[in-house]
Amino acid sequence: MKFNTLLLVSGALLVALVSKGCSEGGGVNMFSIEDDLALGAQMAAEIASNPETYPILDSLTYAEAYKHIYAIRNTILASGAVYHQDAFPWQIKIINDDAVQNAFCTPGGYIYVYTGLIKYLEDESQLAGVIGHEMAHADLRHSTDQLTKAYGISFLIGIILGNKENLIADVVASLTQLAFSRSDEEQADAYSVNYLCPTHYVASGSAGFFEKIESEDESDIMEFLSTHPNPKNRVSNIRKMAAGLPCEGDQLFEARYKTFIATLPKTKPGLTQFNH
């Protein structure tokens, strides 16, 4: 009798956890939205406390740059396609490192974009596409799913509860290099198209980034392919998805994008690093 009771309780607990953790992407995530927010806030605090590794541009000194990039974010959120539009803060920080062509988004929607990526891209629709892709990882809750696989749920809950504060830096460092599954990457590509489709941007904006990657040195491509779908396939898939939707936006905003780049610090020499 005790065994049957325990079985029933365990089954109920499992159903509760699965119900709590079902993500919008169709998978199972053992974190709640509140957990995502709490972990993201701690990661944002850790990033802010480490300016040597993450030299974030001051929002007052570079007010024009932030005004521009927040306008891109606002356009994406206004599409109505972001699940957690109101639940997550969707705060953006620009990291002043021209050696890195990267962007990432923490759980809970804290977005980070490197100046290296901004200067690498050619127009505003490309940047909007990449930002949309990173937002999708948080919106679909891929980030906590992958971090749970890497660290275990008890470890991450310990950080949220303050029991492992000294290890948050390791988690943040892993996030910037987080290898999402190929299915997660493909899903984020698709949702970037969905986010941009109702806007004035070209819905396939992120395809431009992958086209540029294809033209890079073979060593860079092979490193990228180790954790990501083939850029050529992604370009084809993204453009096919956009063509299959009733999207009317066709603006690249190339001139406006050059004005945006001019508001950033001048380019500094460095190595090139690709991610996502």
DSSP string, 97-135: -TTEE-EEE-TTSEEEEEHHHHHHS-SHHHHHHHHHHHH
Task: Check residue 223 and give its pLDDT.
Answer: 43
Classified as helix, coil or strand, 273 is strand
Contact 135, 90 (CB under 8 A): yes
Mean pLDDT of 247-261: 96
Tell whether 73 is covered by a domain.
yes
pLDDT tens for 172-188 read: 998 877 888 889 999 99
Mean pLDDT of 197-226: 76
Tell whether 240 is covered by a domain.
no
Rounded distance between C-alpha atoms, residue 236 and residue 221, angstroms: 17
Contact 221, 229 (CB under 8 A): no
Task: Check residue 260 and give its pLDDT.
Answer: 98
Q: How many domains does the chain have?
A: 1
Q: How far is CA 235 from CA 36, 72, 130, 135, 272, in A?
A: 30, 22, 13, 19, 21
Tell whether 227 is covered by a domain.
no
Q: Kindly state the tokens that stand for 36.
A: 């995502």
Tell whether 111 is covered by a domain.
yes
Contact 135, 142 (CB under 8 A): no
Residues 6+ apart with CB under 8 A from 14: none
Task: Check residue 175 and give its pLDDT.
Answer: 85
Tell whether 91 is covered by a domain.
yes
Give the global pTM: 0.84
Note down the domain range covering 113.
26-180+253-274
Mean pLDDT of 90-97: 98
273 pLDDT exceeds 90?
Answer: no
22 pLDDT exceeds 70?
Answer: no
pLDDT averaged over every residue in the chain: 84
Tell whether 120 is covered by a domain.
yes
Tell whether 103 is covered by a domain.
yes
Contact 92, 263 (CB under 8 A): no
Task: Check residue 188 and give its pLDDT.
Answer: 96
Task: Check residue 18 and give its pLDDT.
Answer: 34
Share of the chain above pLDDT 90, in %: 64
Tell whether 16 is covered by a domain.
no
